[in-house]
Amino acid sequence: MSSSLPTDVETTIGRIRQEVDKRKGVPASDAPPVIEFPSIQETGKKTLLQKAFHGVERARAKQEKAERWPRPLRGLRRDQEVINKELINSASVLTQEVEQLQKIVFSLANQQVNMLMQHQMHTRQVEGVAEQLAAIEEAISRPAERQMPAAAPSGNKAEQAQIDAFYTALEEQFRGSRALIKERVQEYRPFLQDLKKRIPDAEALDLGCGRGEWLELLKKEEIPARGVDVNARMVEQCRSLGLEAAQGDAITWLQGVPDASLGLISGFHLVEHLPFPVLLRLFRESLRALRPGGMAIFETPNPECLRVSSYTFYFDPTHRNPLPPELLSFIATHAGFSTVHIERLHLNTEENVFKGYGDYAGIFTK
């Protein structure tokens, strides 16, 4: 078969074979002429033929060296090669794992930076809210417009007396007679008994005590109590019944109470008369003045009843706005009361009107 290789390549391979045969000990008479390669020093570089020749030499030297290994060690050599390959593979896998871990670490670092930035942003927002709350508290602490229906100036006592008389008659007409209210407050007796178990020597302060129906019940339950009301006519009614009552602004009186000195603070149909900043102050001052385990009771018209929220609430011209139970509960918890209970009271039984509970009481425990 004729060769398809170029003539110069066949010649080169033939010379390489002749040189290899020569070095294996083939007699010189049978061997082709020795090929003399110019030295590297002479040319300054290896020719393609020199590179091929030296490659063959290195391969043969490695083969001879391997054959010189004792036979028992040749298997160990092969095993070592296998181990080396496995180590190389393992190292490659570990390198990949390290790269993946680096990526994870970089990702977590980025997340941490983002979280830190969000935390700083939220901190600034909280600081802004705190500043606003401080401004509100400062505004609340000012004496201007923080009283429940304020007493008339001393120079107009006659006009104030007329207002007091009108409001007393208004209560009788629209809230109910004194006998009716005395019957209604009996619903609170279980709460008073529970309070006496927690604080046997509890004292009470009734804000906006009115005609004294609640003070009478407290006296029956042997809970020392005093009341305060802006209406001088109602205060006189309380005193005529042997009840302790004073004329004045309810919130101002509450501010003068020592810390943690009372077991009970109450206000019946009081909170719906108060401006919102004063309402917040009422809860804050009540919490301060109560003993641990003490109770605050605030009864108010129930806007869940449509007849109340749309009609009867406005019979009293000093009412400001109805307070939903959820709102009053939130104000209490925000102020710091630990327990919140809503008691719906006085089911409307009239014919041809929307049914519902006319009042509710927020009962809050410190």
Instruction: Write the DSSP string, 28-52.
Output: TTTSPPPPPPPPHHHHSS--HHHHH
- Do the domain assignments include residue 80? no
- Rounded to whole angstroms, what are the CA distances from 86 to 77, 98, 134? 14, 18, 70
pLDDT of residue 192: 96
Residue 175 near residue 269, CB atoms below 8 Å: yes
- Percent of the chain past pLDDT 70, that is, above it, reads 61
Domain count, the chain: 1
- Do the domain assignments include residue 234? yes
Instruction: Show Cβ contacts of residue 245 under 8 Å, excluding neighbours closer than 6 positions.
Output: 209, 212, 215, 226, 227, 228, 229, 235, 238, 239
Residue 296 near residue 290, CB atoms below 8 Å: yes
Give me the mean pLDDT over the 196-220 stretch: 96
- Do the domain assignments include residue 198? yes
Tokens of 65: 């060296």
Residue 284 near residue 345, CB atoms below 8 Å: no
Instruction: Show Cβ contacts of residue 178 under 8 Å, excluding neighbours closer than 6 positions.
Output: 172, 211, 213
Read out DSSP for 278-314? HHHHHHHHHHHHEEEEEEEEEEEE-TTSHHHHHTGGG
Distance CA 208, CA 106 (A): 65
- In single-letter form, the type of residue at position 225 comes to A
Predicted confidence band at 141 (pLDDT cuts at 50, 70, 90)?
A: low
- Do the domain assignments include residue 361? yes
pLDDT of residue 267: 98
Tens digit of pLDDT for each residue in 51-65? 555 665 665 666 566
Residue 52 near residue 16, CB atoms below 8 Å: yes
Distance CA 173, CA 302 (A): 19
Three-state DSSP at 223 gives coil
Tokens of 238: 């309380």
CATH at residue 228: 3.40.50.150
Residue 285 near residue 336, CB atoms below 8 Å: no
Q: Secondary structure of the chain: what % helix, strand, coil (to 5)? A: 60, 15, 30
- Do the domain assignments include residue 318? yes
pTM: 0.58
Tens digit of pLDDT for each residue in 148-204? 344 444 457 888 888 888 878 888 888 889 999 999 999 999 999 999 999 999 999
- Do the domain assignments include residue 303? yes
> Kind of pairing, strands 290-301 and 339-347?
unpaired
- Do the domain assignments include residue 1? no
Q: Which of 175, 145, 137 is nearest to 280 (CA)?
A: 137
pLDDT of residue 148: 39
Q: 94-130 in b/e burial notation, b at 16+ Cβ within 10 A?
A: eeeeeeeeeeeeeeeeeeeeeeeeeeeeeeeeeeeee
Domain range spanning residue 197?
Answer: 154-365
- Do the domain assignments include residue 162? yes
